[in-house]
Amino acid sequence: VLCGATHLINLWTFTMHSKTLAIVMTVAKISTAVVSCATALMLVHIIPDLLSVKTRELFLKNKAEELDREMGLIRTQEETGRHVRMLTHEIRSTLDRTTILRTTLVELGRILGLDECALWMPSRAGLNLQLSHTLRRQVNSPPVVPINLPDVQKVFNSNRAERILHTSPLAMIRPYSGRYVPPEVVAVRVPLLHLSNVQINDWPELSARSFAVMVLMLPPDSARKWHYHELELVEVVADQVAVALSHAAILEESMRARDLLMEQNVALDSARREAETAIRARNDFLAVMNHEMRTPMNAIIALSSLLLETELTPEQRMMVETVLKSSNLLAALINDVLDLSRLEDGSFELENGPFNLQAVFNEVINLVRPIAAVKKLSVTLTLSPDLPLYAVGDEKRLMQLVLNIAGNAVKFTKEGCVSVSASTARPDMLRDPRALEFYPASGDGHFYLHVQVKDTGCGISPQDVPHLFTKFAHAHSGTDRSQSGTGLGLAICRRFVSLMHGHIWLESEGVGKGCTANFIVRLGVGGSTSTGPQKKLLPLLMGPGEIDC
């Protein structure tokens, strides 16, 4: 303003300046100089501030643009997440595998605006990929592409969506109809989680490959390109489809297992009813046989024995002896069958009462002594000094056990001797590694009886020993077929021993070397343990030289 005023004064005055005007002009010029210097000094400080404001404005502008891009990314991610959630809901709303695949293709085509979408599944041999589902066309005769193609291997080896050419065999889903711009195509692998998930023709349950291929194609003759958020959406959907297909396969497998289990339960129930009917029929038959067969058989045995005491010709005596022997055999068979049937159906129960233990062995020896005398065999009985006189248990079954085993020893021994020994045994000395199910336990109210029967008979081959306790089993070597029985005796003995919480086994070094039978049973402790009087009676019962106590 001062500078302008000074120039205006100069313009208005063309004559010589008066003194007053000169003073005014001088003052104006001095003022102008002072103001100019002050302005210059102020600008030294103002210009940097202006420059910093401008820089800050540019920085804020860049930040605003970056924030806008981030907000756009967030909105894109939210949209992608919404699409993924919607697709996941649609895919998992059913557990039908064909519906899952069809829904996936339709929803991807709608959200991404696809021209075509298809799924290639591995074949049975695992050497080819077979077109199974498409978005726009019906698959009648599905095309096949080799699995060793470079595009297929590239997709298999990557967990991302891979761009492929529209001329790739994977993209040749239908004829190309574009005129100017070819469509952009991507392919992504779909993990099958060890299951083929979808059955096409003769597809196996277990696939040879662990991946399928999903191919997505944008419309041709368009400026659209695949964006990264769209590729992420495709990758996430592929993983969700794999999970849904695995769930569907597991459900189908569980439903098949449930149906199979129901069929098995029905079959088991029917078998149980049939078994119960058979058991009732068998029990009825055994009851009838017990009454209708044992009574006349006992009459035949008694009458044959009485007939033998009369005067008979040698031929008649031989016939009567044959009848008596056959009757005894048949009676023994009936008893064995009845005992075995009761043991198998669980209706057999042991009696429990006090009895004279040593008298049981004496009676058994007295029963087998006549047969042994006919064959000129010596029979010895050895009772341990610590064997109690009285015990608590089933006297009849114990006698049947000892008699059966001793009778077998006499039956299969042609010459030599048969020895029977009985003793008590400590539980810690009874553990047999061959019988893991036998666990002897010590106690104050019971003891373990160990009985051993040794003979010098025909012996048993080692391979036949494990089968002798099976029903109707016979040794294949070493035994005389004319002396073999029904094969039920040892099987019944084993059941009796098991009921008495014991263990039975046979030992033989081979054919012709004799056999040793052992069994251990648990008995209750009786009221007396004195063995002195019984020892004095044993020689009278057995005769001189036939017993060793």
Per-residue pLDDT of the chain (549 residues; tens, 9 = 90+): 777 777 777 666 666 767 887 787 788 888 888 888 888 888 888 888 888 888 888 888 988 888 888 887 777 677 767 766 776 676 666 667 788 888 888 888 888 888 889 988 888 777 888 888 888 777 777 788 888 889 999 998 888 899 998 888 888 887 766 566 788 899 999 887 654 444 444 444 444 447 889 999 988 877 788 888 888 888 888 888 888 878 777 887 888 889 999 999 999 999 999 988 887 887 777 767 766 777 788 888 888 888 888 888 888 888 888 788 778 767 766 776 776 666 666 667 788 899 999 999 998 898 888 888 888 899 999 999 989 999 999 888 898 889 889 988 988 888 899 999 999 887 666 655 555 556 666 677 888 899 999 999 888 887 777 777 775 555 554 455 444 554 567 887 888 888 888 888 888 888 888 899 999 999 998 765 443 333 333 332 233 233 332
Chain Cα centroid distance, residue 281: 38
DSSP letters along 24-56, please?
A: HHHHHHHHHHHHHHHHHHHHHHHHHHHHHHHHH
Q: Rounded to two decimals, what is the model's pTM? A: 0.45
d(CA 96, CA 90): 12
> 326 in helix, strand or coil?
helix
Which tokens belong to 485? 């029985």
Residues 407, 410, 413, CA angle at the centre, nearest 5°? Answer: 145
The reply to whether 540 falls in a domain is no
Q: What is the CA radius of gyration of the chain?
A: 54
- Given this model, what pLDDT does residue 539 score? 30
The reply to whether 548 falls in a domain is no
Last residue in a domain, options 202, 229, 246: 246
How are strands ordered across the β-sheet holding 116-122?
Answer: 144-146, 128-134, 116-122, 211-217, 185-191, 162-164
Q: Which of 448, 508, 460, 462 is nearest to 484 (CA)?
A: 460
Same domain for 109 and 241? yes
d(CA 473, CA 479): 12
The reply to whether 285 falls in a domain is no
- Given this model, what pLDDT does residue 269 score? 93
d(CA 458, CA 508): 10
Q: Do strands 162-164 and 185-191 pair parallel, antiparallel, or not at all (unpaired)?
A: antiparallel
The reply to whether 3 falls in a domain is no
| Cβ-contact 32, 2 below 8 angstroms | yes
- Given this model, what pLDDT does residue 204 score? 44
The reply to whether 147 falls in a domain is yes
Last residue in a domain, options 195, 211, 246: 246
Query: Domain span at residue 507?
Result: 349-476+485-525
Q: What is the CATH number of the domain that holds 125?
A: 3.30.450.40
The reply to whether 68 falls in a domain is no
**HSE on the CB side for 230, CA within 13 Å?**
20
537-542 contacts: CB < 8 A, separation 24 or more?
537/362, 538/358, 538/362, 538/381, 538/383, 541/362, 541/365, 541/366, 542/362, 542/365, 542/366, 542/369, 542/379, 542/381
Distances (CA, A) of 53 to 14, 57, 67: 48, 6, 21
- Given this model, what pLDDT does residue 354 score? 92
The reply to whether 122 falls in a domain is yes
Residue 319's Cβ-count burial label (10 Å; 0-12, 13-18, 19+) is: middle
Same domain for 371 and 496? yes
Same domain for 353 and 219? no
Residues 542, 514, 411, CA angle at the centre, nearest 5°? Answer: 55
The reply to whether 169 falls in a domain is yes
If one counts the domains in the chain, the total is 2
Q: What is the CATH number of the domain that holds 370?
A: 3.30.565.10
Q: Would you give the end-to-end CA distance of the chain in angstroms?
A: 155
Question: What one-character DSSP code corresponds to residue 493?
Answer: H
Which tokens belong to 43? 């600008």
Last residue in a domain, options 226, 246, 266: 246
d(CA 385, CA 536): 13
Tell me the β-bridge partners of 160. Answer: none
